[in-house]
Amino acid sequence: MPTADPAIEHASECYTASSKQHSRLTSVFARPRLVLTLPLGLAIEASYIPPVQVGDAHPNLGGAALSETARLGGFGPFSSSALMLRAHGMFGHVSGPITCSRSSLQQTDPEAGCYGTRPSDDTFKPNIYGLEGVYGVTSRSGRFDLFAGSGITWLRPRFEVGFTSLDGTTDNTQVEVNLTRVAVLGGATVNLPAFFAVTAEVYSVPKDVTTWRVAASYRLR
């Protein structure tokens, strides 16, 4: 998980006295994914992160996608190419001490933020939906696949503070944001013996953040 730009880690309305929000609850997230291929180039994807604590994060996230791939001819060092159109979405939530991490707590100024002894238990719902197109090529040996693409993503995140101060006051401030972002992606896959493969991918939303992903997969006959 990448570190966000410091400029967007500072609250502008609430908890402004905090040095910054603890938005990076964990450095790594594993997301198991199952892909079912269907006739006519269709495929259905499903992924899920169970409610098992990872670092300071308590996730419960699911995702789904539907794609269609059109096989194209080869050229030069590539035996074949393909164009994939994909619709995807992510739902669920992640909870953790985002507004008031343990290092931000203070017991000296009741009027300042994070006045308490227990970190906040905030809830973030990503609510991500998008469409993307990806073009890929396969080497003539079949060992390597390269791909690149772009898409549009609709972000409808919802955030709720969950902090109880030392005087017993509970803050349940809610934040709703509606954004539209353009994303770009690219990567490579190494096809290994026995139907195994390893993929490295970069997925970037230039206005916000860039994520690096590594995936291992196994194809059933």
User: Which pLDDT tens digit goes with each residue over 166-209?
Assistant: 999 999 999 999 999 999 999 999 999 989 999 999 999 888 88
Q: Would you say residue 52 has pLDDT above 90?
A: no
What tokens appear for 217 in the block?
Answer: 């997969």
Give phi and psi for 34, each to the nearest 5: -115, 130
What is the pLDDT at residue 145? Answer: 97
106-164: pLDDT as tens digits: 999 998 888 999 999 999 999 999 999 999 999 999 999 999 999 999 999 999 999 99
Helix (H, G, I), strand (E, B) or coil at 54: strand
State the average pLDDT over residues 61-72: 96
Q: Would you say residue 221 has pLDDT above 90?
A: no
79-122: pLDDT as tens digits: 999 999 999 999 999 999 988 988 889 999 998 888 999 999 99
What is the pLDDT at residue 31? Answer: 78
Q: What is the DSSP letter of 9?
A: S
4-22: pLDDT as tens digits: 555 555 555 555 555 455 5
What is the pLDDT at residue 208? Answer: 83
What is the pLDDT at residue 220? Answer: 83
What is the pLDDT at residue 57? Answer: 84
State the average pLDDT over residues 45-62: 90
What is the pLDDT at residue 157? Answer: 94
Distance from CA of residue 63 to its chain's centroid? 10
Number of H helices, E strands in the chain: 0, 14
State the average pLDDT over residues 28-49: 89
The CA–CA distances, whole Å, from 24 to 6, 94, 172 equal: 11, 11, 21
As a whole number of Å, the CA-based R_g of the chain is 21
What is the pLDDT at residue 202? Answer: 96
> Model's pTM, two decimal places?
0.74
What is the pLDDT at residue 21? Answer: 59
